[in-house]
Structure 1
Amino acid sequence: MSEHDPRDLVVIALSGVQRYITESRTTADAANASDIMARLATEAAIQLTGDGAELVIPARADPSAAPNRIVALTAAGNGADLARAAADRVRSECRAWTAHLFGASRDVPGFPEVMWTVAPAGTGGYADQWKTAQTALTARKRLRAFDYPERTGTRPCAVSPRWPSEKSPPPGVPRHERGSELSAGVWLKRRWHATPALPSTHSRGFPSTASIASTPFRARVLDAWTAPGVRGLVAELSAAARDVMGENRFRSLEGAVPALDRAGQDGLRQWFVRGAGWWVTPETWNADTLTHEYGIPGSPVDTGAVRRGRRATEELAEAVGADANPYYAVLAADLDGLGAHLSAAPVTRERHRRVSDRLGDLSRAHGRRVQVDHSGVTVYSGGDDLLAFLPAETALEAAQACRDEVDENPTTLSCAVLFAHQGSPLHTAIARSRELLVEAKGVPNKNAVAVGYITGSGARSHTVRSWSSDRVADALGTLRAFEPRTGGAAPTSEDRGLSPRLVNDLYAERAALTDLAASPHRKTYEAEVARLVLRHGGSARQARDLVNLGRSEYGESSHAPVPLAAARVAVFLRRQAW
């Protein structure tokens, strides 16, 4: 674009994406919500290119890596008309999907919320137009569309209470879901993958949190499938699950974790891959819990089936020499200061296109790192941001791999890893991961990582620090302070893992340690931490690691520099992630 080829600069943004994804009861809801928003952004891009506009960000209309912001150049004087047409197409497509789902039109107030702005050709060159468009879009975001729903006589939606629930579910909803009080917008993401005419990426469903958490265990079982007794134990587990669930729900399989989706699997193996995730954990086999989920009022589930199922899971764990882990992890990541990077000189469409191409490369690379290398599943991977679910055993390695993939091109990457129990509310885990990501990006100069957990009972803690600093060169590796080293000869004091009881002493003496940590008593503080570490079976190296973790803490700062937060997280990781 030059003075001899003046064009309008159009910027279109979809608002509320994170909220729509976070307000999810299941992993399929979250993945479908992301897919819906990506499809809507793609519709805007398709409309613009069809009307003759030139895409800048993204470089092409691709729903697999569609950002929620579209930047395009149009003929001078056409920008507003083309932006309005693109926004109208987004809204009309969403209405059409909802109408197809219900068989009649349904209103979802304020959704999707599409914002757009145009920097006309006369504003100046591309750099001036970019600055004008960003300023206008920022101002537009301060104005909210107060599109309140009319009174419908129904209760608020159980998942997104800002919308009213529908009086009846859409056709084809399974019997056990028909009593759900959900709005049209939530029903759309609930049934997105299960309605053939809708353009879902996940037509075979999406794996549950339990399926993701148990992936390493089930991979071991599949590897030992031909070993004596293993297939028979899986058959017993399958029969017990069928007796508890009933035939209809037993046949309703979820999506497979890509790492387990192997070709040529027979019916029993297919069930183990797509239906057994919840059932391989012994704690699942609780008669009261299963009656609440699967029983008929006044009629509990078959307690004999419950006993058989529990016995099969225990014997299966013994056969493969491992237990199923009930914890999974949410990985949230975001490029640091991408907006500032795009606005830094030189601001040209060619440079913006190169950044857009780089984001596309990162989107694909992060997807491979999560799904191929670390047995997880991605909810979205746009290059500039990432949301994924992973087994607890591989989550920290996946976060490190995604950070290494970026390598400060175009900017640094901040991450949050939140470990959660498979039975805990999903929306809580996603929301908490986003909160931890905000804390990581609040570290001076950003480029940081937050690691936290929420146990099945609700206990939680987290720790935040730079990926690398003068005190801690490897933020994630140093959290292995409580992990015993294995292999080789008999363990020495340098090899033994710290006793988790150290956390109790740190908590009991936190006030005195905080006073000692202040100058001029720094050496005394370090000596006292070392005494506690040695008392609990640790080493001088582990004491130094804990001192440095405390002094580099940006998370639960009320205890810093006492390494209480880092110690709590490290103990959790020892028990559930390594």
Structure 2
Amino acid sequence: MKGYVLAVSVGPVQEFIAAARKTRDLWFGSQMLSDISLAVAQSLADMGAQLIFPPNVADQKASVANKIVAIIPSDPGSAAEKAKEAAKDKLKSFWDEAERIITQRGAGSLVNKVEVSEQIDGFLEFYAAWWPMENEEGYKTALEQAELLLAGRKALRDFQQCTVTVGRPKSSLDGGRQTVLEEKHEEQRFRLGIKPNEQLDSISLIKRVVEPKRFVSVARVAVDPVIRRLEAEAQEELTALLQLADELDGRECPAVRRFSGLDQYRAFPYDTTLFFEGATADSEVESWLERDEGNRQAVEQFQKALAKACRKVNVGEVPAYIAVIHADGDRMGRAIRSLESPGDHRNLSSALVNFAEAANGIVSHNHGALVYSGGDDVLAFLPLDTALVCAEQLAKEFNNCVRTVFKNSQESVPTLSVGLSIAHYGEHLSEMVEWSRQAERDAKRYRNSLAVALHTRSAGPEAVTVVHTWDEDPVWRFQRWVDLHRLEALPDRAPFELRELHRELKRYVESQGDARAASVDLGELIRQEVKRILKRKRAERGVTGLSERLIQFIVDEISADPSRALDALDTVVNEMLIARRLARVEDVVGTPKPNMDDILSEFSKRKGTANANR
């Protein structure tokens, strides 16, 4: 087989995906990039290329990654140029559809089409590199050389001449580009779902306007545990909420929008912030309320019906926090290099496609919303009660999908690291996504790991973070504290007092230096102090003291390795703090509470296993 290995990279990823204020912007941006990458792959296939990544373009249900690899029979330069034109044509088709919708809604004069055209023409980043191969045995070397050339080409970025109109505002979502919206067209903005002071560049406008389907909001994901509880125990109250939400949607309430196409949310297919206090303080909602007294009455009826429903199922506070999962394969470069032939790489490519398709089902089954799943990369929103289990299932499915490709070299089998950030639904969407990426980076420092980062509103960008490898069974480690919180066997204040102990001891160690700190039996000191703090705590709302057996298990875990007792204390404290947030949501869902004896027996069983493995 004689030809060329061609490697193509399509971007810019950040502007396509990360520049988003709404989940729909985020989802559709990733969909645009996937469709453009698919158009590149289709163009190469039409020219007789043998596709490697992706393995094919037929029946492509999963997202296509922005990296395409193919074997071209001849003239790779011409093939790359035609693929580039296919990418540009696909991007232009998105604008053509957006322009049709804008005109249809009577908002044509809102958009500066000259500015749009200039931005569309210069937006895409398309890089290609190739290397000749004389036969199939030369494929591996050709791929490595093409990859090196591609990396070098991407480092030599094209810098276009900056065209700026003085006094024209920047885009609210992409500060590197100017707005394409004209001023003083508030009514037309409303028709397109654009806020009065919001400014959008051409790509952000396409995301907002072109609607193959409406994507679920973070607010709806956060309240899903309440919806499931109502569906199970208060169907009549849920039906009343559905009817009122439908009325509000018909009145074009900015805080309520119906969506479709996501079967996991069929019990209440509405995005709404009216489940939360302060929702009517939004300026857009306030303006809508002032238009018609009937609007205000409809909102009040919804809030009364919600309060009644929550009382029925004994839910005091509606969950306002959600989880954002970002997963990525470990050592994928090494895995790819360990394979020799185009057939092996196509098998790996097919395995990654299978995982991407399975990821959608896993996320949906856990009542989440998948933003993107392409190759070894996953981004999704999950309610708190299912997020940890979903992360674990993704890691197991990834391993199952790729393991068969590496039958002769199990050491090269890639693993999946998952970052899971927990944040309030009201945080800026770009920050929530970035926090999940930071958690994923924390996990990848150890590889084959799960990193959970809790961002509370009061702490700002600071996070309570815990990282464990999958071999350490992190889901169980969190679940044990969740169960203890729910049984009120672990007082809410306990982790805060233990955290203060950790801070004091850490300051002491840092102030004394290694030599003097080593003269103190820090492990024994921590052991005694933890025991003292826990013995003073009262469980079951102050009725009883903590179980002696539970205290001993906690103390033993922290001091199992005296040389790492300070780090172990920090880990246990952070696990407890994160579990405290998760426990509240499990109570909302109504998950059956475990038996205290079962929890302690599991503690004992795992402790015995750990001792046997030492």
Q: Give the shorter-chain TM-score range.
A: 0.7 to 0.9
Aligned counterparts of 2:521 and 2:497: Cα–Cα separation in 1? 23
Q: What does residue 532 of structure 1 align with? A: 533
2:201 matched residue in structure 1: 183
Normalised by the length of structure 1, the TM-score is 0.82
Residue 165 of structure 1 and its aligned partner are, at CA, apart by: 0.6
Q: Find 2:321's aligned residue among 299, 324, 327.
A: 327
- Equivalent residues in 2 for 1:420-431, closer than 5 Å: 420-431=423-434
Distance of 2:13 and 2:563 partners within structure 1: 36
- Tell me if structure 1 keeps the 8 A contact 2:328–2:377: yes
Q: Per the alignment, do residues 172 and 509 of structure 1 end up closer, same or farther by CA in structure 2, a change over 3 Å counting?
A: closer
CA offsets, 1:258-285, max 9 Å, x none?
2133xxxxxxxxxx72225433x2425x
1:128 aligns with 2:124: no
Q: 2:65 aligns with which of 40, 50, 67?
A: 67
User: Structure 1 residues 314, 411: CA separation in 2 closer, same or farther (over 3 Å shift)?
Assistant: same
- Going from structure 1 to structure 2, the CA distance change for 1:546 and 1:422 (only over 3 Å counts) comes to farther
Deviations 1:108-130 (A, max 9, x none): 26522111111123698101101
For residue 119 of structure 1, the aligned residue among 104, 107, 131 is 131
Aligned counterpart, 1:385: 377
| Inter-partner Cα distance in structure 1 for 2:560 and 2:158 | 48
Query: Aligned ranges for residues 130-169 of structure 1 at < 5 Å?
Result: 130-153=143-166, 154-168=168-182
Partner of 1:369: 362
**Residues 398-547 of structure 1 mapped to structure 2, 5 A cutoff:** 398-407=390-399, 409=403, 410-443=413-446, 446-459=447-460, 460-468=462-470, 473-485=472-484, 496-514=488-506, 520-536=521-537, 537=546, 539-545=551-557
Match of 2:389 among 388, 392, 397: 397
- Deviations 1:407-459 (CA, angstroms, capped at 9, x unpaired): 2734111001111222221111001111111111122xx11111112234454
Distance 2:257 2:76 in 1: 48
Per-residue CA deviations over 1:216-274 (Å, capped at 9, x if unaligned) read: 322333345654x55345545655x46xx94475885234542133xxxxxxxxxx722
Q: Is the 8 A contact 1:551 1:561 kept in 2?
A: no
In structure 2, do the counterparts of structure 1 residues 563 and 340 end up closer, same or farther at CA, with 3 Å as the change threshold? Answer: same
Find the aligned partners of 2:465 and 2:35 in 1 and give their Cα distance.
36
SS in structure 2 of the partner of residue 67 of structure 1? coil
* Residue pair 2:63, 2:373 contacting (<8 A) in 1 also: yes
Q: Would you say the 8 A contact 2:481–2:575 is kept in 1? A: no
Render the CA deviation track for 1:530-565: whole Å, top value 9, x for unaligned.
332343335322344456799989xxx999757443
Q: Render the CA deviation track for 1:301-340: whole Å, top value 9, x for unaligned.
A: 7665554333221111122344532222111100101112
Whole-angstrom CA distance in 1 between matches of 2:398 and 2:130: 31
- Answer whether contact 1:107 1:184 (CA < 8 A) is retained: no
Residues 133, 547 of structure 1: CA spacing in aligned structure 2 closer, same or farther, 3 A cutoff? Answer: farther
* Cα shift at 1:360: 1.1
Q: Which residue of 2 aligns with 1:196?
A: none
Q: Secondary structure at the match of 1:434?
A: helix
SS of equivalent residue, structure 2 residue 417: strand
CA gap 1:425/1:308 in 2 versus in 1, 3 angstroms? same
The match for 1:79 is: 76
Q: Which amino acid aligns with 2:204?
A: V
2:330 is matched with which residue? 336
Looking at structure 2, the residues matched to 100 and 549 of structure 1 have their Cα atoms a distance apart, in angstroms, of 62
Kindly indicate whether residue 569 of structure 2 is the aligned counterpart of residue 575 of structure 1. no
Instruction: Tell me which of 5, 10, 17 is aligned to 1:21.
Output: 17
How far is the alpha carbon of 1:75 from its aligned partner? 1.1
Which deviates further from its counterpart, 318-327 or 62-71?
A: 318-327
Structure 1 residue 106 corresponds to structure 2 residue 117: yes
Alignment of 1:260 with 2:274, yes or no, is no
RMSD: 3.4
* Paired residue secondary structure (1:347): coil
Matched, 1:32 2:28: yes
Measured after TM superposition, the shift of residue 479 of structure 1 is: 2.2
| Inter-CA distance 306–478: structure 2 relative to 1 (3 Å threshold) | same
**SS of the residue aligned with 1:522?**
helix
For residue 52 of structure 1, what is the aligned residue in structure 2?
A: 48
Give the 3-state SS of the residue equivalent to 2:117 in structure 1.
Answer: coil
| Range moving further from structure 2, 497-506 or 318-327 | 318-327
Q: Do 2:51 and 2:71's aligned partners in 1 also have CA atoms closer than 8 Å?
A: yes
Q: Distance in 1 between matches of 2:323 and 2:563?
A: 26
**Contact 1:551-1:562 within 8 A present in 2 as well:** no
Q: How many Å apart are 1:291 and its aligned residue?
A: 5.0
- The TM-score, its normalising length taken from structure 2, stands at 0.78
Which residue among 210, 224, 230 is the counterpart of 1:215? 224
The alpha-carbon distance between structure 1 residues 481 and 251, as it changes in their structure 2 partners (threshold 3 A), is: closer
Partner of 2:607: none
Instruction: Report the AA paired with residue 72 of structure 2.
Output: T
Which one has a larger percent helix, Structure 1 or Structure 2? 2
Q: What stretches of structure 1 of length at least 5 have no aligned partner?
A: 194-202, 262-271, 488-494
CA distance in 1, matches of 2:276, 2:300: 10
Query: Counterpart amino acid of 1:96?
Result: S
Answer yes or no: is the 8 Å Cα contact 1:461–1:565 preserved in 2: no
- Is 2:343 the counterpart of 1:355? no
Per the TM alignment, residue 19 of structure 1 is displaced from its structure 2 partner at its CA by: 4.6
Rounded to whole Å, the distance in 1 between the matches of 2:580 and 2:235 is 36
Structure 1 residue 54 displacement after superposition: 0.8
Structure 2 regions of 5+ residues with no counterpart? 101-112, 404-412, 510-516, 538-545, 588-614
Distance 1:11 1:128, change over 3 A: same
Select between 352-361 and 136-145 the one with higher mean Cα deviation.
136-145
Deviations 1:465-490 (A, max 9, x none): 23245xxx322321235324599xxx
